[in-house]
Structure 1
Amino acid sequence: MEKIFVCSKNDLPEGEAIKVDCQPEAIAVFNIGGSFHAMNDKCSHGNASMSEGYIEEDGTVECPLHSALFCVKTGKPLCLPATDPIATHPVVVENDSIYVLLKEQQQ
């Protein structure tokens, strides 16, 4: 797995998200109650950035374009119009730095 640096823990306040530009797709990283979660940044229903979505205390994020709700832990869509999940990724915190673990691409 490839380990991608996101930011310092202090740079991602509770209830906020950050977009990480990486290949093959940008990643949205969320701080929900001091727990960090990552998913692909693009909504599975349309071309919207999930890091710009509305984050709820219950661990859901609302697409800013279509109002679909997703679980940030599983990527599962929780209401229409979205029906497909968004891929999620493991997050690790080391020495106050946040990293996302991505599967390495096949060459």
Structure 2
Amino acid sequence: MTEWIDVAPVGTIQDGDHRLVETADTEVAIFNLGGEYFAVENLCTHEDVPIADGEIGADDCITCPMHEAQFCLRTGEVMAAPAEEPLTRFPVRVEGEMVQVGTQPLDL
């Protein structure tokens, strides 16, 4: 069963921005995309570069700052090489007025 970590009050992560949190052993990036929240491990699966340093396009894809691999932040899916493996996703919920992230990945 996943534990939940408080990330930030609703409305404090601006649209298109992110917040980083640490679980027991993983840095997780939580993104606000048009008022919906999505969370992924903060590592590009190609070269272990922090993915949150990349740019988010209008299609809700993030581009890795190192080799320009692209991932869909909503699904974790690889959208452009050189990456071959999807991003590890984490559950996100809004509890009261607090955005929370689960400590267990969705993809396991």
- Deviation, 1:102, is 2.2
Distance in 1 (CA, whole Å) between partners of 2:81 and 2:28 is 22
Aligned-pair distance for 1:79? 0.7
Confirm whether residue 74 of structure 1 aligns to residue 85 of structure 2: no
Could you tell me how far 1:18 is from its partner in structure 2? 1.5
Amino acid at match of 2:87: I
Separation of aligned partners in 1, 2:99 and 2:15:
14
Q: Partner of 1:94 in structure 2?
A: 95
Residue 74 of structure 2 aligns to a residue whose secondary structure is coil
Report the equivalent of 1:85. 86
SS state at 1:51 partner: helix
> How many Å separate the matches in 2 of 1:17 and 1:57?
15
Alpha-carbon separation, structure 1, partners of 2:6 and 2:65: 25
Q: Which amino acid aligns with 2:81?
A: L
Cα deviation, 1:17-76, whole Å, max 9, x if unaligned, reads 111122221001111111100010011011211122111232111111111110111111
Find out whether 1:62 has 2:57 as its counterpart.
no
Q: TM-score, normalised by structure 2?
A: 0.88
Equivalent position SS for 2:78: coil
| Alpha-carbon separation, structure 1, partners of 2:99 and 2:51 | 18
Does residue 39 in structure 1 map to residue 40 in structure 2?
A: yes
Q: Which runs of 5+ in 2 are unaligned?
A: none
Aligned amino acid, residue 24 of structure 1:
D
Runs of 4+ more than 3 Å apart = none
Matching residue's letter, 1:48: V
| Residues 81-106 of structure 1: per-residue CA shift (max 9 Å, x gap) | 101111101110122211011229xx
Distance in 2 of aligned mates of 1:91 and 1:10? 15
Percent identity for Structure 1 against Structure 2: 31
Partner residue, 2:29: 28
**Contact 1:15/1:56 (8 A) holds in 2:** no
Equivalent pairs, count = 104
